[in-house]
Each structure stands twice: as structure tokens, then as C-alpha cells.
Structure 1
Amino acid sequence: MLVLSAWCIRLVPVMLFFICYYFSKFYLQNFISCRLHCSKTPSFTKYQCNKIIAQKKWESLNLNINRNARLFLKLKDFFWKKHLSLLPLPYGLKGSESVLLKILANYRVANYSMPTSIESLDCRTCVVIGNGFALKNSSLGTAINRHDIVIRMNDAPVRGYEQDVGNKTTMRLFYPESASFNPDLQNDPDTLQVLVPFKQLDLDWLRQILFNEKRMTTGFWKPPPQVWLGRISQLRILHPCFLHLTASKLLQIPLEPKNQQNPVHPSTGILAIFLALNYCDVVSVAGFGYPASQNQKHLIHYYGNQAMKSMSIKDSHHDLSREAQILKRLEDMEAIRNLHQHS
């Protein structure tokens, strides 16, 4: 018995050593991680936010930005009073009234608004996450999650990339060709699924999904999902005025091309940034831009295997060089903040 007690006494310093070692290792790892990643985007106090708002840097852009803009289509605003739209989708509702009436009235798509917890914020901080390769190994996940509103696009994955892109998604903008058949695989349960209707077929796709009608696949640049398992309560339809103003004011591209030219529309990414400028007090971005490398095998996204050579697709409807110039201008004017560290 005495021998056993002596051995126990001898083991105490050893046990204390290992406890202290593992505790210090865990503490140092989290401390270093926080110093590296948490400090990139400090939380904004109400005073700091009000100071940014007071500067009104977006006013010099002359973009008709309205910080109280309603983001989503709402039944009573468009169908119970006189409503005239001079342009069809993507810049207006001309010719789409009947299908929208069926979707918004009969299926009662959500409550047409942002969550109350966000609407009531004194200072709304937004971050718009592009899908660019620059996010790979960026370790921006913690900084991204710190924002009140995280906006993502299309079917870009989150699971497995949390360290670089975060795991929070407030809203995800998509159109039929970019939709995931099961949004819950990559989003929080309360993520708003925001349909951006670029064409009449996009609304037809939604109507067919919601009412289980015969699916049509012709007219899409790639077949959209024939089954969509998204939560109807979280579904929203973006007001086309945001695409209209993004094109006419921000990008200054013609809304009605002449001489049979292929139409050029804003990308979902630049649209999301304009939307954020209208709704949020502080707007950050991450993951925008394409690799500077001329190597055609260089990957485009932080996920998948799509390479630069695929950018030569002849039917592209976006002016990506123009959009890059506009993003640089917004950043230089401090209307938006880039989370990536510039050299």
C-alpha cells in the first residue's frame, strides 16, 4: 500500500506537466489564430458605423442608392394598384405580371422581407463573397462570419471550406442554372434563397417547381434542377430595379442593345454588391476577381476544377473587365472594403 502511494505521488508532477502542456498548446493556437484572422475585420461600434454613414461616400457615385430600399417583390406593391413596367426582365416586369401574380398570390411565397433581427440593427455590416480562387487558403472565415449579413452567390460550396469562406450565409442569390437542388446542403436553415430572374423562363421554372407542373429545359444555357428542395418560407424574388440600376447607373451599359447585339447583363456578383450598398451601412467584399496569371490551366474558383481557359465561352453575357474596373473604383473611394490584404 505504501509503495502504491509513493508511485501516485511521483505521477502527480508528470500529470500536471501534460495538463499544462496541452492547455498551453490549445491556448496559443487559438491566440495566434485570432491574432492572424480575427483582427482583419474589427467589429464596428455604433459610433464607428455612424461615422462611416456620415461620410456618405456612396453619394458621390451618383447611383440612386437608397439605404431603405425594399429588396424583394411584394404582391400588394405590384398587383393591387396601377403598375406599369416599360421593360421586360431582367430590368422590369413587363410581360411577367401573370406568372408573378400566380407565384406571389397563390403560393404565398414567404413574407417578402428581411428577418426582423436584421431590420432592427442600428448598423448593418455586409460582406459579399465572390467565388474567386483568391479565397483559397485565405483564412478569412472568421472575419467573414463577423459580419451581420453574409451574401453568397449561386451554388458555391461552404462545407469543407469554412476556414477560408466562413460558415454563415444570410442570403444566397441564384438563378435556375446556378441553383442547387438541395440548398440545405450548403446553407443555414434560415438562409434566404433569393431568385434573380434574368428572363421569363426563370420565373416559369420557379412556377413549375412550386406547382409541380411539367418541367421545361429548353432555353437555358444548361439544364436547371428538375427538383428543388429549398424551404418555401425562405424564398424571395429580387426586385428587378436592382439589376436595372446596376446596369444603367453602376456599369453604364445599354439596357436595350441595338443591331442584334448580344445583351450584356450585370453578373450576380456585381449585382450583390450594389444590393449591399443599398441595404447595409458597411460593405465588405472577398473572393472577387480572376487570377492575373496568363496560365490557361489556372483555376478560377476556390472550389472545383474550372480553369481559366473556360473563360473564353462565346456566349458570356457579362463585361467582366468593366466590372473589375468598377470594383476597383468602389474600393478606392472606400465605398466598399476588400478583406484581402493588398501587396
Structure 2
Amino acid sequence: MRKEQVKMSLKNTKTWSRVLVPVLLLCCVSYYYSHFFLQSSEGAFSKALCDSWNISQKWERLNFNLPCKTCMVVGNGFAIKNTSLGSAINKYDIVIRLNDAPVRGYEADVGNKTTMRLFYPESASYNPSIHNDPDTLMVLVPFKQQDVRWLKEILYNEKRIRKGFWKPPPEIWLGKTSHIRILDPYFLQQTASRMLHLPLNTPPKTNQIPAHPTTGILAIYVALNYCDVIHIAGFGYPESKDLKHPIHYYGYDTMKSMKNSYHNLSHEVKALKRLEDSGAVVYLHPHS
């Protein structure tokens, strides 16, 4: 009888272990994310946004003590130029920037706070510290296998292989190794298929390259997964059919450079319109 009781006790212990271990792991991951991955700065601005979000979601009547993350995704579009949004952008808990978009010299319009920056090798700045904060997370978007290989060659100081890039990436990159992250390809797949309704595969035996999401729409999808309040600025393309019209708030790229891009801009415009109409994202400035 005693042996049977011991067996039953061991069996119950194993059963509870199977249940509790995943829960504990989830708690640990959630704690790590909230305390280390997204670094929040509490303030009156953040509290006001979160209070309005809580009221709309009616969380308080459920007695949930949930932290609220306010996020700003700063696009590189010309629309943000001369908006004087810089000080407002700096007040968000999380500020996400894209590619090699500069901050210095443009602070009045785009602010200077950067929590994380999404980039890929061809859009990498050789010295990330110039336009980022010391603790900015640099998130590599692996559009292709060569992108991860490039990072490996940089980190391990291996021979640089330049084949496979549409533009030569930096051969020297001064980013902090402790601040490098790689975006889970799942986000790429979900953004392409669920948000943009793009085919993930091209017909066999063709040289056609499938359209892929822009870094900006990817950043918004990431924010939708981790943030409670999401505002955006610098998104959208000029309505003008003038191919000489600038597309960024910096530099000299024009609409002409987008003619042969691998992005489906019409799908992205529709996706952003759906998100705006549903209240999932809010623009900080008038847009087309």
C-alpha cells in the first residue's frame, strides 16, 4: 500500500512539473522582455496615453495591473519634414527607427530618442553610434541568407563575401555586439502573408524575385505585437506623379528610385489604411 502511495505521489509530482515548468518559463520570458528588452520611461505623457487606452479597453474594471507601452514608429518619409514633431516623439516609451535614417541635424522633426533600429546590411551605417543612443538595440532584418552571413562575418572578423547584395554593405561595422538582435523571420512571413497578402513563393524556374515588406511596415507589425499604444509618423509616399519628388526627409532619393523596387507599395498603403481605420495605429501628422 505504501509503495502504491509513493508511486501515486511521484506521478502527481511529474504531472504538476509538466504543467508548471512551461508557465515558469513563460513568466521568466515575460519578465526579461518587460525589464530588459523594452526600457520604459514613465511620465505624464505616457500616463495620459495609457489611461485613455485603459479606459477604451475597460481593463481597470477587471482589476488588471498591466503595464502599458506607448510606441512611436518613425518612418523615413518626406511627410515628416517640417512637422516639428521631435519633442513629442521623444516622450514615447519606445521609439523605433529604420535603416540608416539620420537623427543629428533633424532633431526638430524626428527627435533624437531611439530605443531600437531595424536595419539590413545594405541599409546599415558603419558607425551606429552617430545617430543612435548608447543603449539602442540594433535589430537585423534577415531578408535573405546573405544578411545573417554578413553579420557573422562582421562579428567573427571573417573574410567578407560581397556576392548576393544589391548594394555593397559595410565591411566594417562598429555596432556593439551586446546590443545586436536578429528579428525572428516569423515576423517577415506574417507581415507578408497576413498584412500585405503577398505570395511567399514565386513560380518555379523563374528569375522573379518576390515582393517583400518594407522595413517600415515590418516595424509597425513588430509594434502591434508588443505595444499597447502605437503612433506613427513619416509614412506614406507623395501623391505627386513627379518622379523627381524626394521620398525621404533626408538625402536625395526620389520617387524614380522606387520604380524598380521589390516592395508592393499599393498593398502597404491599403494595409496602413486598414490599421488607421480600425484605430490600431494613429498618425501624428496629416498624410495622403
Scaled to the shorter chain, the TM-score interval is: 0.7 to 0.9
Q: Which has the larger radius of gyration?
A: 1
Paired AA for residue 192 in structure 1: L
Question: Aligned residue for 2:230?
Answer: 283
| 2:115 maps to which of 156, 170, 176 | 170
- How far, CA to CA, are the matches of 1:153 and 1:342 in structure 2? 19
Instruction: Tell me what 1:141 maps to.
Output: 86
Task: Summarize the alignment of residues 66-215 of structure 1 with structure 2, pairs less than 5 Å apart.
Answer: 122-215=67-160
Structural mapping, 1:247-326, within 5 Å? 247-259=192-204, 260=206, 261-313=208-260, 316-326=261-271
The SS at the match of 2:169 is coil
Give, as a single letter, the amino acid of the residue that structure 2 aligns with 1:47.
Answer: D
Deviation per CA, 1:187-228: give whole Å up to 9, x if none.
000000001111111111011000100001111000000000
Give the TM-score of the pair, scaled to structure 2: 0.78
Does the 8 Å CA contact 2:49/2:229 hold for their aligned counterparts? no
State the 1:248 CA deviation.
1.3
Q: Which amino acid aligns with 2:225?
A: N
C-alpha distance 43-299 of structure 1, shift in aligned 2 (>3 A): farther
Question: What CA distance in whole angstroms lies between the structure 2 residues aligned with 1:54 and 1:257?
Answer: 45
TM-score, normalised by the number of residues in structure 1: 0.66
Measured in 1, the distance between the counterparts of 2:50 and 2:232 equals 21
RMSD after superposition: 1.9
> Which AA in structure 2 matches 1:325?
K
Displacement, 1:266?
1.0
Unaligned runs of 5+ in 2: 1-44, 60-64
User: Cα offset for 1:125?
Assistant: 0.5
Q: Distance in 2 between matches of 1:181 and 1:202?
A: 15
C-alpha change, 1:284 and 1:264, in structure 2 (3 Å) is same
Change (3 A) 1:229 1:332: same
The runs of 4+ residues in structure 1 deviating greater than 3 Å are 52-55
Question: What residue identity is the alignment partner of 2:224?
Answer: L
* CA–CA separation in structure 2 for the residues paired with 1:53 and 1:248: 28
Q: Quick one: which amino acid aligns to residue 239 of structure 1?
A: D
List alignment gaps of at least 5 residues for structure 1: 1-40, 56-119
Aligned partner of residue 166 in structure 2, secondary structure: coil
Q: Provide the secondary structure at the position in 1 that maps to 2:133.
A: coil
Q: How far does residue 49 in structure 1 lie from its aligned partner after superposition?
A: 2.6
Instruction: Say if 2:169 is the partner of 1:224.
Output: yes
Distance 1:227 1:342, change over 3 A: closer
Distance 1:342 1:223 in 2: 33
Stretch of structure 1 that moved more, 259-268 or 285-294 = 259-268
**Which residue pairs with 1:236 in the alignment?**
181
Contact 1:209 1:226 in 2 (8 A): yes
Aligned residues: 237
Secondary structure of 2:231's aligned partner: strand
Tell me, yes or no, if structure 1 residue 334 matches structure 2 residue 282: no
What displacement does 1:45 show?
5.1
